[in-house]
Amino acid sequence: MDVQTIKQRFGIIGNSPLLDRAIDIARQVAATDITVLISGESGTGKEFFPKIIHQLSARKHGSYIAVNCGAIPEGTIDSELFGHEKGSFTGAHEARKGYFEVVNGGTIFLDEVAELPLGTQVRLLRVLESGEFMRVGSSKVLKTNVRVVGATNVNVSDAVANGKFRQDLYYRLNTVPIFVPALRDRQDDIYLLFRKFASDAAEKYRMPPISLDEDAQKIIMAYRWPGNIRQLKNLAEQISIIEKTRIIDAPTLAKYMPHASSSDLPVLYKGQESANFSERDLLYKVLFDMKKDMNDLKQLVMNLLQNEQALGNTQSENHQLIKKLYNEFGEGKEQASPIIMQASDNSLPVSEAVQEPEEVEESLSLEKKEKDYIKRALEKYKGRRKEAARELGISERTLYRKIKDYDLE
C-alpha cells in the first residue's frame, strides 16, 4: 500500500514531504514488531500513526487500545496498565486485568508516554524487554505479547537530562522514531485542511460551506498555528456557525484570529532551550545597557553646556535642565549622579563642574555585584538578616551562606 492510498484510507489531508515521510516510515515499520516513538507538537495528528501501524501489521485482527498516560492519576496508573489483585489497595474489591493483559496479541498506544511516573516506567521497561509483568498486589509473573507505540509532545531528551524519564526506557521506546511536522511547516496544506473542516461543519450543521478570499487565505497561511490542526479545525467550525456570509474576507477572518497572530517572533516554550541564552547573558546585557545609558547621559549634559551660548540659555536655566534630566533619568544611575549634581551646584561655574565625558570601564563581575547588594541590604536593615533576605528575594539560609562566603560577618 503506497502513501497516497494510506492517506485516503485514514482520512489524512496534505501533500507536505515531511508528512509523506512520516507516513512512509509508519508503513515500513508496520510489518515488524519494533517499538515506535512518535513525537510532535500537540494537535498535529499523532494519533493517526499508531492506527496506521496497527492496521498494516499482522496484528490488525487483534485488539487495539489507546491510553492517555497524562490523564490517569499517578496512584492508579499501574493498576490500569498491569491490573491488580483483589484487596491490593483500598477499593480493589475484585481482581482486574490491565491493558497489557487485555490487549495480548494486539497493539497498545501510549499517548503522552513521557508523563508516566518513574515507578511505572520501570514496569514498562520490563514489559518491553521480556514481555513480563505482575499485577499490583501479586507476585505471580504474567506474560504478554503486545506491540507498543508511544507518543509525546515534549522533548524526551530534556526529560531524561532532568531525571524525569529513564534513559534506558527512552532508548528502548525510540527504536524507530517518527516525527509529525507542525502545521506551520506544512504551509501549503493549511488551506486544504481549512476547506475540509469547513465542508465537514457545513454537512454537520446543514448549511452551505464557507470559503476564504485570496487575502484571507494569505492570513491563515502566514499564521504560526501554535494549536496546529486542532486549532485550525476549531476556527473553521466557529466561523461556519457565526458568520452569515459564506465568502470570508480578510477583515472578517481577522476578528477570529488570536491577537498573537501578528507576531512571528520566536518564543520560548516549555521543553525548549534557547541556544546560547542564559541568565548570565541577561545580566551582562543589562549591565552593558546601563553603561551605554550613562555615557549617553554624560554626552547629552556636555552638549547642553557647550552650546549654552548658541541656545541663549542662562547658566541658571542650564542648571535646571540638568536637574530635570537627572530626575527623568532615574535615581538608579548612581555613577552618573556626581557629575550631574556637581554641575547643578550654583556655587561652581558650569565649565569647571563638567568635564569631557570619559568612558568608564565598569566591573561586570556578578560576584562583586552580589556582594554589594548583600552589604547594602544588611546596612539598610541594620544587620537584621531576615528582613535583608526578604529584600534580596532569597532564603535566610542562602543569605547566611553568602555572608560566610563573602566574609561579611
Could you tell me the CA-to-CA distances from 352 to 277, 305, 306, 345, 346 in Å, in that order? 45, 11, 12, 11, 11
pTM: 0.62
According to CATH, the superfamily of the domain at 3-181 is: P-loop containing nucleotide triphosphate hydrolases (3.40.50.300)
- Tell me which long-range contacts 2-6 makes (C-beta under 8 A, separation of at least 24): 3/27, 6/52, 6/56
Beta strand 247-248 with 211-212 is parallel
Q: Which of 229, 207, 221, 228 is nearest to 253 (CA)?
A: 221
Q: Contact 399/390 with Cβ under 8 angstroms? A: no
Report percent pLDDT > 90 for the chain: 56
DSSP 3-state assignment of 283?
A: helix
Q: Which CATH number fits domain 184-262: 1.25.40.10, 1.10.8.60, 3.40.50.300, 1.10.3660.10?
A: 1.10.8.60
Mean pLDDT across 274-301: 61
pLDDT tens per residue, range 333-356: 444 444 444 444 444 444 444 444
Q: Where are the domains of the chain?
A: 3-181, 184-262, 279-353, 366-405
- Compute the mean pLDDT over every residue in the chain, rounded to the nearest whole number: 81
DSSP state string for 33-63: ---EEEE--TTS-TTHHHHHHHHTSTTTTS-
pLDDT tens per residue, range 47-71: 999 999 999 999 999 999 999 998 9
Query: For the domain bounded by 366-405, which CATH number is listed?
Result: 1.10.10
Phi/psi region, residue 228 (left: phi>0; alpha: psi -120 to 50; beta: rest), is left
